A = this chain, B = another copy of it.
Amino acid sequence: MTLDNGRKLLAIPGPSVVPDRVLNAMHQPSPNIYYGPLKEMIEGMIPDLKQLAGTTGDVVFYITNGHGTWEAALSNTVAAGEKVLVLGTGPFALGWGAVAQTLGIEIEVIDFGKQSSVDIAQVETRLLADKNNDIKAILVVQTDTSTSVRNDISALGQAIRATGHPALYMVDCMASLGTEPHFMDEWLVDVMVSGCQKGLMVPAGMGFVFLNNRAHAARREMDRVSYYWDWAPRVAPEMLYQRFAGTPPTHHLMGLREALDMILIEEGLENVWTRHRVFAQAIWAAVDSWGSAGRMWLNIKEPDKRSFAVTSITTSHFDGGKIRDWCENVAGVTLGIGLGMADAKSPEFENYFRIGHMGHMNVPMILGTLGTIDAALKALDIPHGAGALEAANHVIATASR
């Protein structure tokens, strides 16, 4: 039988749960796109987005998804025939590299595998060896949404600049913006890309590129940049449509305004980060506890290298797929598939699942997700350690004091 006649709980690592308030903010007639309230609203969001990113640089809106922002960032800064250094810690940085190749950019990959963060020393070594400064940019993710590893963007930034190498430092914060600390300027990031559908709690369909003066300088070196991706007119538009290279994404913008109010004004960015950290730690505690029976592991072993936004879990016996099916079909919780952890058509693929815990999440949503996984383990007779839910609750109880 199904026990699901309630609100489906989406616990995939993006798109995340959209708050009712954001949906309501989007439930509006189409506005005038030439002047009036929409224009003012957009201009008012720019400082808010910059605050979110920790930058005094610029922010550009694109009607696109995350992959599109990768293309945008590269299109403005690296020409065909030039080279970028890709720091692989899962499929997402590698994917960015693949996009670069379709632009005619040469890529050089250092692959740290699916369970490790970037080894900064290797990067330093490589940069110091690049005497001709052939490497125009370094591509890395803060959080890999697939492996759930988190890289130390601050330390990497310090190390890169310490080498004296001029390469642009470009960071993907798709899953980390609005879920864990990011200080673009302080961390010496030149270009940062993100989307609206994870920490920002807006339906998919809008992306952002943040950039500093070094990035502007790289843009000026380009022979040409395609109209849609060119950030130059978007940064300093004379008319509203130039900010979007055409018609603006009216309803996404209305939703984003509401989400930014929730994050920056009502909850406060520090508290948002802390909340994500506590929930992540609660989830890790539960998984460790279940895993004591030897059938389930956190993909990232070192706690300080784990994302606060998504947790990637490995099982044996193809339990991952069974757990996901039970949660989705019987109970009403949608967990993430192990995207990028194995070939999606191989049986091994069913050994992975992910819990998305980003954005609009509170205690009952986290505990409802964990409780449902626990019920699945019992319903499916999958051996698991006892006390997982109480272990999670000890984390939450302690944090709440």
Contact = CB atoms under 8 A, between A and B. Distances in A.
A334 B32 contact: yes
A204 B249 contact: yes
Interface string A358-401: 00111111111111101110110000001101101110111111
A16 interface: yes
Contacts of A23: 26-28
Nearest to A32: B334
A202 to B, nearest CB: 9
A102 B367 contact: no
A33 interface: yes
A367 B362 contact: no
User: Which one of A4, A6, A29 has the greatest number of beta carbons of chain B within 10 Å?
Assistant: A6
User: Which one of A103, A195, A262, A278 has the greatest number of beta carbons of chain B within 10 Å?
Assistant: A103
Contacts of A154: none
Interface stretch (A49-57, A267-275, A307-315): A267-275
A226 B102 contact: yes
Interface string A301-338: 00000000000000000000000001010111110110
Nearest to A33: B15
A376 B363 CA distance: 10
A384 to B, nearest CB: 10
A374 B204 CA distance: 35
A174 to B, nearest CB: 9
B344 A371 contact: no
Interface stretch (A62-70, A119-127, A212-220): A62-70
Contact of A368 (B17, B24, B364, B401): B364
Contacts of A27: 20, 23-24, 26-27
Interface string A234-275: 000001000011111111100000000010000100011011
A41 to B, nearest CB: 15
Contact of A362 (B7, B33, B249, B400): B7
Contacts of A368: 363-369, 371
A47 interface: no
B362 A374 contact: no
A376 B390 CA distance: 11
5 closest Cβ pairs, A-B complex: A367-B371, A368-B368, A364-B368, A6-B362, A331-B363
B7 A29 contact: yes
A3 B375 contact: no
A18 interface: yes
A104 interface: yes
A248 to B, nearest CB: 7
A7 B20 contact: yes
A10 interface: yes
A40 to B, nearest CB: 15
Given A15-B250, A30-B10, A365-B7, A224 B102 contact: yes
A394 B12 CA distance: 25
Given A102-B224, A364-B332, A393-B375, A16 B30 contact: yes
A267 B334 contact: no
Contacts of A262: 5
B332 A65 contact: no
A319 to B, nearest CB: 15
B374 A390 contact: yes
B3 A278 contact: yes
